[in-house]
Amino acid sequence: MALDKNIIDRWQKSNILLLGGSAGSFKLIFSIIKNFNADLNKTVIIIIHRKKNFYSEIEKLFAENSRMLFREISDKDKIRDNTIYIAPANYHALIEKEKCFALDVSDAIWYSKPSIDVTFESAADVYKNNCTAVLLSGANQDGAEGLLKLRKSGSLTIVQDPKDAEMPQMPEAAVNINAAEFILSSNQILELLKTEA
Amino acid sequence: MDTTTGYLTVPQLNELIDLIKKVHGFDFSNYSKASLKRRVLRIMQLKKLEFYDLKHTLVNDQHFFQEFLDEITVNVTEMFRDPSFYKALNNQVIPYISSYQHIKVWSAGASSGEEVYSLAILLNEVGLRKKSFIYGTDINSEMLKEARKGIYSLRKIKSYAENYQFSGLKGSITDHFTIMYDAATIHSELKQNTLFSVHNLISDNIFNEFQLICCRNVFIYFESELQEKVLDLFYNSLAPLGFLCMGSKETIRSEKFKKKFKVINYKENIYQKIGT
């Protein structure tokens, strides 16, 4: 199925790409960021659920396979273009009006810290309609409320087709509350995010 | 959890900050706004309060203010949070400070005491307990009451078992507690050389001189200027060549203070005071 012109247009116009994923989302996120050129002219923010204490290979793999700058978020980091950020394990990552990150160690949400909801809601507050947000495979309900808030603020919201996701619960939760403007297969998501401005 | 329905504008948040400062004397004006706003919204939802009711209740109900304070000063903590930090402390800092006759430690933002007792366990394990003293401070006096008790639910202590295991200390975390039914009480000798007291990093001054200051995951709630002000307080509270430990995602960014501290462990953000 060919992609809608409207969706390509809005992806190209947005400055921030938010990727939220949990169980079963790693491979797709990996492929997405591997495709990006160093001069994407956007900021990519990844929130991926994972265990604390295991200094995971995820950060290393992403950093080694990305042409864009790749950085695990530190508190008060300025948010820059052409950079991929990943929320650190065991912290929530929020965005300040001054376009910098602020970390938070408060309670886990949906047993998750980092929580996708927290970052998505905060991004909606600061960036309004300037984001493209993609919610991927996962086994809980994190991200749905945050995605809805992004949709209401005018950002482009995409959910991985639950039929296509390894773990359908997370995308389903978002579809159920009508947070998804578009429901796309993993191939369509890859295809869309490959198109450059 | 639904955190999307609530609504709070920037001027409203600032109005609340002013009100709390005037009525209760706590100054949140240089706190990071994104997380402050999120937590105020959360309490508005929990208590089903609109903005105007919240203001009214904050002024007139002292009991409610305590709840409010508990909610907006994040008190989520773990024993041996970031086990790799405790490992680094053991390998890179303990050998140095063990040569002192007395070791004074300050845990700032002590909350319910988990960090203080983690440090007490570590110092005990390396044989330094008797010559060390740990001060735990927080702005929240109710939290400090909990800290002084040193009693935690068994469920909580078990959830810290993995941290403990990765910290490199021998045995298991439960070795340091007396367990009765579902409550775990820290061994009394570990409580001996600790003191918990109220101290506000924003408005209070130096109260002692320390060989080691731990202030982890507190700076994340402060805006950059306030971070620098608190760094100054720590710098002046440290003995020459004393150590400052920040959270693993908190760094010294100010050029002024980069010159005054030497990085001992880049990943764990352990610093040593240099210069005078």
Report the pLDDT value the prediction gives residue A57, as an integer from 0 to 100.
Answer: 80
CA distance A111 to A108: 5
Partner residues linked to B31 by β-bridges:
B222
In which order are the strands placed within the sheet that holds A83-86?
A: A69-72, A83-86, A43-48, A16-21, A131-135, A156-160, A182-184
pLDDT over 80 at A173, yes or no: yes
C-alpha pair distances (Å), B35 with each of A91, B82, B250: 12, 22, 16
Q: Comparing C-alpha atoms, which of B82, B159, B253, B116 is closest to residue A91?
A: B82
Pairing relationship of beta strands B238-246 and B194-198 according to DSSP bridges: unpaired
Closest residue to B4, CB basis, from A76, A96, A145: A145
Whether cis (ω within 30° of 0) applies to the bond prior to A168 is no
Report the pLDDT value the prediction gives residue B139, as an integer from 0 to 100.
Answer: 95
How many Cβ atoms from other residues are within 10 Å of residue B35's Cβ? Answer: 23
pLDDT over 80 at B275, yes or no: no
pLDDT averaged over chain B? 94
CA distance A135 to B10: 28
Q: Which chain A residues have a beta carbon less than 8 Å from that of B230? A: none
Query: pTM of the full predicted structure?
Result: 0.94
Report the pLDDT value the prediction gives residue B4, as an integer from 0 to 100.
Answer: 41
- Work out the average pLDDT over B47-63: 93
ipTM score of complex:
0.92
**Does the beta carbon of A91 lie under 8 angstroms from any beta carbon of chain B?**
yes
pLDDT per residue as tens digits for the range A18-45: 999 999 999 999 999 999 999 999 999 9
CA distance B122 to B227: 28
- Work out the average pLDDT over A142-157: 98
pLDDT per residue as tens digits for the range B188-242: 999 999 999 999 999 999 999 999 999 999 999 999 999 999 999 999 999 999 9
**Does the beta carbon of A103 lie under 8 angstroms from any beta carbon of chain B?**
yes
Helix (H, G, I), strand (E, B) or coil at A31: helix
CA distance A58 to A56: 5
Q: Which chain A residues have a beta carbon less than 8 Å from that of B39? A: 106
CA distance A170 to A20: 10
Phi, psi of A147 (to 5 degrees): -65, -40
What would you measure as the largest C-alpha separation in chain B, in angstroms? 57
